[in-house]
Amino acid sequence: MLLLALDTATPAVTVALHDGEAVIASSSQVDARRHGELLLPAVDRVLADAGLTLDAVTGIVVGIGPGPYTGLRVGLMTADTFGLALDVPVHGVCTLDGLAYATDLDGPFVVATDARRKEVYWARYTDSRTRLTDPAVDRPADIADEVAGLPAVGAGALLYPDTFPAAHEPEHVSAAALASLAAERLAAGVELPAPRPLYLRRPDAQVPKNYKVVTPK
């Protein structure tokens, strides 16, 4: 097994290689405006660090969000392209699950990432491998009662301390955690989600309501 994992659902552009036993190379850069520019060089860098070429990869793992439309689709389209070019399976993993997997918290907790518009993408977990609720997008104040008393992980938790007073690292997801979680689940025979995006809301860019056609009749 050689899994190439990547995620662009948060400001982190993150890539890793996992050989079925451990992560053998990884790279993460935080830049919310340069996902498309940074992702492929990161893949090249990780492969070079491992002394491998792309054709050695036997599977792709990609974070499916939730995340903003523009960033999230960069990783998903890249993963689909690699899968088609290499004729290997493409596995989806919820980005929030990757963050949960990377924490060392014991007992129930919350993962919350920045959804912009003064909202967070979030879910509750019973432990680092078990999600209790479906991913959702809400204003922090609207979920305060649901998350009260629970420690929280992620950039969303750090941004809104009134709702998440007990915020912990990591701030952003790492492909190393995604790859490790995917490898563990695949080895156990668990079917991973399809590589389809969890947007949870409409994209920011929309056609104006009063749009007028100006082409000649």
Phi and psi torsions of 198, nearest 5°:
-100, 85
Which residue, 81, 62, 54, is CA-closest to 14?
Answer: 62
CA–CA distance, 119 with 130 (Å, rounded to integer) = 23
CA–CA distance, 21 with 1 (Å, rounded to integer) = 9
Q: Which residues of 89-98 are buried (b: 16+ CB within 10 A; e: fewer)?
A: ebbbbbbbbb
Calculate the CA dihedral of residues 151, 195, 197, 205 and round it to 10 degrees.
140
What would the pLDDT profile of 26-81 be if each residue is shown by its tens digit?
A: 999 999 899 999 999 999 999 999 999 999 999 999 999 999 988 999 999 999 99
Phi and psi torsions of 38, nearest 5°:
-95, -25
**Cβ–Cβ under 8 Å, residues 37 and 26:** no
What would the pLDDT profile of 80-123 be if each residue is shown by its tens digit?
A: 999 999 999 999 999 999 999 999 898 899 999 999 999 999 99
Whether residue 204 is predicted with pLDDT greater than 80 in this model: the reply is: no
CA–CA distance, 167 with 23 (Å, rounded to integer) = 26
**What is the reported pTM?**
0.91
CA–CA distance, 40 with 51 (Å, rounded to integer) = 16
CA atoms within 13 A on the CB side of 198: 26
